[in-house]
Amino acid sequence: MSGYWSDIVTGGKSLVTGLAITAREFFRPVVTEQYPWEVPTMTPLFRGHIELIGSEETGEPNCVVCGMCQRACPSGCISLDGKKNESGKGKALTRYILDFTKCSLCGSCVESCNFNALRFSRDYNLVSFDKDDFIMDLMNRLEEQNRCKR
Amino acid sequence: MTVPVHLRHDETFVLNLGPQHPATHGVLRVKLTMDGEYVVKAEPVLGYIHRMHEKMAESGTFAQFMPYTARMDYLHALAFNHGWALVVEKAAGIEVPERAEYIRVITVELNRIASHLLWWAAFLLDLGGFTPLLYAFDDRERIIDLLERVTGSRLTYCYLRFGGVYNDIDDEFITGARDFIKRLRGRLPRLYHDLVTHNIILIKRIENIGFITSEQCRRYGATGPVARGSGINYDIRKNEPYSVYPEFDFDVPVFDEGDSMARYMVRMHEIEQSMRIIEQALDKLPGGPVMGKAPKMLKPEAGYYYSAVETARGSLGHRLVCNGDKAPYKLKLRSPTFSNLSLFGEVAEGMMLADALAFMGSLDLVIPEIDR
């Protein structure tokens, strides 16, 4: 029997304190976000999947096909091809495929780029039933963005 | 109709806890030999999410392993970033600017608070209390929002670079961190301690349960709050100081009781100490660059290198063997929870099942880090 009554007293005290805290918090403002109706704004440094940056005038990608991003990637997500420019100087991008299923969003590719050709997108709600939707053709994406701009 | 099973009085049965069990918080399997409600033998079985991190380090360059470090301990990812950055900087002889060191300490300590808050929430969830989880996640969310602004990601950070950090912190981050500390200082006694620490249900569930002696800690190599809850005053930040930790005034909470309550109290006090460190670091924050000079392709000289950092769960050691190539020749990771989990089998013997689960929660296990 030792401690029986003291347990009841301390137990009652714990119960009242808990209820008081719950009551106090009940009248505090809501901290959650009602997601589909309220969408979060991504911070400027948010790392989404990568996308190509087009030049201001022509809309052509800034990429010079040096392949640094491909080599920097720890998971081998990036594959790209280019062809010689008609003027004979440098290369132009013909294909840029990102396998987003393997990407861990470390940002090594963006950091390794010396030609301002890559950036992170602001897309965060990427959902699909099909794996192929995440194998992204970034050239198409850039073209679409250019079309929207026009 | 099911027929009830009748056991002889001395008969035991095997109970599989996991690999999918809400109390193990990951794919850990514990093979329990039970005598009724009592645990006769407990054997942790590992390997369900082994991803060969040590081998992955050997197959890429030094910088390419940085994102993977965060995938081991996803709750204190920045400390794992820090550990890898330190050992490579030691090997390659890279200097880190002072401002970068301060930013590293601030972000790592913020991440430590977030990790302890999540442990607190998950531990109480194991014990059957759901409400505290929501309060802790409210505070943790604020830390994650702060870190997202500077690191770009919310959980598996890849923020540290050899020779500095990825991005400088701004005034908004500094005021945000100060506001957060002020807020948590107010909430710790009035919400966390009043609602949970002094609650009789918690005290009855974890006090005088799950005793770990300091001798056991030494035998198994347990570190972090587990060792400090058993009276061992060992914290890498004090014992083998790295980065700018010697410049800060902070205490290492040590409790001698060795039960689950002692480990609980160590973590609660560590939150306060981390807040002290962050405040001092914000006050002393020097100006200057956040990235030092580091070659893009590292080729450290051949040799053996070791460095350790204190994560939220204990000491994390990196042993790096280089042969002058652009990839590590061998990397051995000494992760804290692997040693802390090894204790479980010995200590859980003779416990009631519900107590054993409460004891397991107090060890703060992160399975991807045990099974790297």
pLDDT at A1: 58
Residue that wins the pLDDT comparison between A54 and B224: B224
| DSSP-derived 3-state class of residue B26 | strand
Cβ-defined contact of A108 to B64 (cutoff 8 Å): yes
Other CB atoms within 10 Å distance of the CB of residue B192 = 19
CA-nearest residue of chain A to B159? A106
Which one of A13, A14, A46 has the shortest CB-CB distance to B152?
A46
Q: Are B180 and B117 in contact (CB under 8 A)?
A: no
Please report, in angstroms and rounded to a whole number, the separation of the first and last CA atoms in chain A: 84
Q: Are B343 and B229 in contact (CB under 8 A)?
A: no
User: What is the rounded CA–CA span in Å between residue B311 and residue B267?
Assistant: 12
CA B127 to chain centre: 20
From first to last of its 372 residues, what are the pLDDT tens digits of chain B? 677 777 677 788 888 887 877 777 778 888 999 888 888 888 988 888 888 888 988 888 888 888 888 888 888 999 999 999 999 998 888 888 989 999 999 999 999 999 999 999 999 988 888 888 888 998 999 999 899 888 888 888 888 888 888 888 888 899 999 999 999 998 888 888 888 888 888 888 888 888 899 898 899 989 989 999 998 999 898 888 888 888 888 899 999 888 889 999 999 999 999 999 999 999 988 888 888 888 878 888 888 999 999 998 889 999 999 888 888 899 999 989 988 888 888 888 888 888 888 888 888 888 888 888
Q: Are B316 and B82 in contact (CB under 8 A)?
A: no
User: What is the rounded CA–CA span in Å between residue B277 and residue B273?
Assistant: 6
Residue owning tokens 């670091």: B281
Other CB atoms within 10 Å distance of the CB of residue B62 = 24
Which one of B66, B131, B141 has the shortest CB-CB distance to A106?
B66
CA-nearest residue of chain A to B139? A31
Omega of the bond leading into B189 within 30 degrees of 0 (cis)? no
**Domain coordinates in residue numbering, chain A:** 1-31, 50-149
ipTM over 0.85 threshold: no
CA-nearest residue of chain A to B131? A22
Closest-CA distance of chain B to residue A15, Å: 8
Cβ-defined contact of B195 to A18 (cutoff 8 Å): yes
CA B71 to chain centre: 13
CA B78 to chain centre: 10
CA B174 to chain centre: 24
Closest-CA distance of chain A to residue B41, Å: 33
pLDDT at B274: 92
Interface of A with B (CB under 8 A): 7, 10-11, 13-14, 17-18, 21-22, 25, 31, 43, 45-47, 72-74, 104-108, 111, 120
Closest CA to B210 of B78, B361, B72: B361
Domain B13-370 = CATH 1.10.645.10: yes
**Domain coordinates in residue numbering, chain B:** 13-370
Cβ-defined contact of B68 to A46 (cutoff 8 Å): no
| DSSP-derived 3-state class of residue B214 | helix
Closest-CA distance of chain A to residue B153, Å: 6
Other CB atoms within 10 Å distance of the CB of residue B240 = 14
User: What is the rounded CA–CA span in Å between residue B185 and residue B305?
Assistant: 40
Class of the domain covering A50-149 = alpha beta
Sequence-ordered list of residues with C-beta below 8 angstroms from that of B206, at least 6 positions apart, any chain: B127, B259, B260, B261, B264, B358, B362
Output the pTM of the full model.
0.89
User: What is the rounded CA–CA span in Å between residue B53 and residue B58?
Assistant: 9
Vertex B346: Cα angle to B344 and B348 (nearest 5):
60
pLDDT at B1: 61
Residue owning tokens 């919400």: B191
Tokens of A124: 């965060």
**SS3 letters across B58-126:** HHCCCHHHHHHHCCCCCCCHHHHHHHHHHHHHHHHCCCCCHHHHHHHHHHHHHHHHHHHHHHHHHHHHH
User: What is the rounded CA–CA span in Å between residue B315 and residue B244?
Assistant: 17
Closest CA to A65 of A52, A46, A50: A52
Cβ-defined contact of A14 to B201 (cutoff 8 Å): yes
pLDDT at A71: 86
Closest-CA distance of chain A to residue B147, Å: 11
Sequence-ordered list of residues with C-beta below 8 angstroms from that of A114, at least 6 positions apart, any chain: A66, A68
Tell me the pLDDT tens digit for each residue of A19-49. Answer: 998 898 889 888 888 888 888 888 888 888 8
Alpha carbon of B56 to those of A72, B156, B331: distances in Å? 15, 17, 9
User: What is the rounded CA–CA span in Å between residue B31 and residue B40?
Assistant: 11
> Which strand ranges, in their side-by-side order, compose the sheet holding B303-311?
B303-311, B314-322, B330-334
The per-residue DSSP string of B122-166 comes to HHHHHTT--HHHHHHHHHHHHHHHHHHHHHS-SSS---EETTEES
CA-nearest residue of chain A to B64? A74
Which one of B131, B194, B200 has the shortest CB-CB distance to A10?
B200
